[in-house]
Amino acid sequence: MNFIASYLFVAVWMILLVTSIAWYGFLVFYIGFKGGKEILEMMRSLDRRNQAAGEEEKTRS
């Protein structure tokens, strides 16, 4: 009985440990991917804004 309880205890904590590491890894990559995509979108938006400002300045000169 003691062996079964000990094995069950270790198995439950091992499952919790592996699951939490997998969840953390998923979140790191998911948030990193979404954040990287948003940064690229922001850079494109800023580039378009800078190009529009440059063209506007050229027409004033």
How far is the C-alpha of 17 from the C-alpha of 36, rounded, in Å? Answer: 28
pLDDT tens track for 6-50:
999 999 999 999 999 999 999 999 999 999 999 999 999 999 998
pTM of the complete model: 0.64
pLDDT of residue 2: 87
How far is the C-alpha of 35 from the C-alpha of 50, rounded, in Å? Answer: 22
